[in-house]
Amino acid sequence: MQNTTGQPTTAEAPLRLAQSFSARFASAPRIFRAPGRVNLIGEHTDYNDGFVFPAAIDLYTWAAVSPRNDSKLRVYSENLDESSEIDLSEAAPRPRDHWSDYVHGVAVMLQKAGVTVRGVDMALYSDVPSGAGLSSSAALEVSVASALLGASARTLPLAEVAKLCQRAENEFVGARVGIMDQFASCFGSGHHAILLDCRSLEYKLRRLPDSISMVICNTMVKHGHSGGEYNDRREQCEEGVRLLKQYFPSIRALRDVTPAQLESHRGNLPELIYRRCRHVVTENGRVLRTAEALGKGDLESVGASMAESHSSMKNDYEISCRELDIMVDLANGRDGLIGSRMTGGGFGGCTINLVRTASVGQFKVEMHSAYQQATGILPEVYVSNAGAGVTEVSANG
């Protein structure tokens, strides 16, 4: 990962974390690393049982861990320079509206899955920017789940790890997110994007050619997900399913609705609900078309689907914002650009730009200054490879 910030690089991070862990807790830790993700296309389709096309990126959260002899989970965040203590034997564990809720929620869900979670000392460091739509939450959850499993001498199938991390966020933290982020953080694979069916959890890896780079442009406008807008969108989709079920009793989710079916009952839906449904129903088609076009090297179609996706998120789903629209507008038409759209939950965060590798240097520099000029905000621009999912690492990497 090349970035424009002066933070420790991926290579230095685990060693620094191990050293500070040993100084704080007086033992040598095991270290687990889980990546953030970027979504190429397929936004807000996951909780509608639809399709998504994310890739793990080379920004990570590292969890250093060593077992204790009691039921305490003592966790320290390097990024925040803050500690928190959780008692794993509590009968009625509750969230405290604190970053440690993600850690606590994962421990609780592991326990619910039948794992006897040992007390641990844990230290966390992340270079996934938070609130940027790159899944800092999933990277945290998945790294913590792996660290707790490792320290408790247990393993679980990766798909179970992804699902229980999602449950931690849904049931403990209170954000009704889908499965995409946790799945990508678990199943990421070098040089590949993941075409995931969020109903069956079947997935196919699609190779990203070396001639195409993923350039992530951060508007620096932060979003938060545990709050209202995200959960509202989810409820509006559920309302759409409830209304459409009167005409198509076999549908279980918007995944089951075709564009023609939706159009035929446009007049029976409140306008807002219709537009929300139209985003999801058309976005599912775009995901499948994009994955196919990428496989055939039809980059024009990839770019067209990304552009349609952005305008659908802006106009129908209403999850973009001024800065995201500016970032996309500034990318369009630039040398080497294949396609550009906002990525992640929305209301701020990043755009994903597929750019011909030969033009990346120039693209980065130009986007940086054009966005600053247009908004007065200094953006961050990351060029990421599609990377591997969660893994244990040594302090040296």
Residue type, 241: V
Which parts of 12-71 interact with ligand GLA (CB under 6 A)? 39, 43-44, 46-47
Contact region with ligand GLA (CB under 6 A), list: 67-75, 148-156, 174-182, 360-368: 174-182
| Contact pick of 57, 180, 262, 388 for ligand GLA (by CB under 6 A) | 180
Cβ proximity to ligand GLA: between 284 and 353 the closer is 284
Cβ proximity to ligand GLA: between 226 and 261 the closer is 226
Contact region with ligand GLA (CB under 6 A), list: 176-184, 186-194, 290-298, 368-376: 176-184
How far apart CA 244 and CA 4 sit, in angstroms, is: 47
Cβ proximity to ligand GLA: between 44 and 364 the closer is 44
Which parts of 124-143 interact with ligand GLA (CB under 6 A)? 135
Q: Which residues of 296-319 are buried (b: 16+ CB within 10 A; e: fewer)?
A: eeebebbbbbbebbbebbbebbbb
Of 327, 317, 316, 309, which is closest to residue 39 (Cα–Cα)?
309
Neighbours of 228 (CB within 10 A): 9
Please tell me whether residue 390 binds ligand GLA under the rule CB under 6 A. no
Least distance from ligand GLA to the Cβ atom of residue 133, Å: 7
How far apart CA 14 and CA 239 sit, in angstroms, is: 46
Rounded to the nearest 5 percent, the helix, strand and coil shares of the chain are 45, 20, 35
Please give the angle made by the CA atoms of 390, 186 and 178, to the nearest 5 degrees: 140
For residue 128, give the H/E element and its range: none
| Contact pick of 50, 131, 344, 348 for ligand GLA (by CB under 6 A) | 344
Least distance from ligand GLA to the Cβ atom of residue 101, Å: 15
Strands 72-77 and 120-126: parallel
| Contact pick of 181, 256, 308, 316 for ligand GLA (by CB under 6 A) | 181
Task: Kindly tell me the burial class for residue 215, based on how many C-beta atoms sit within 10 Å of its own C-beta (0-12, 13-18, 19 or more).
Answer: buried
Q: Which residues contact 366 (CB under 8 A, 6 or more apart)?
A: 334
Least distance from ligand GLA to the Cβ atom of residue 281, Å: 15
| Contact pick of 178, 339, 348, 389 for ligand GLA (by CB under 6 A) | 178
Site string for ligand GLA, 293-332 (x = CB under 6 A): ----------------------------------------
Q: Which of the residues are catalytic?
A: 181
Cβ proximity to ligand GLA: between 139 and 269 the closer is 139
Which stretches of the chain bind ligand GLA, using CB under 6 A?
39, 43-44, 46-47, 135, 177-178, 180-181, 344-345
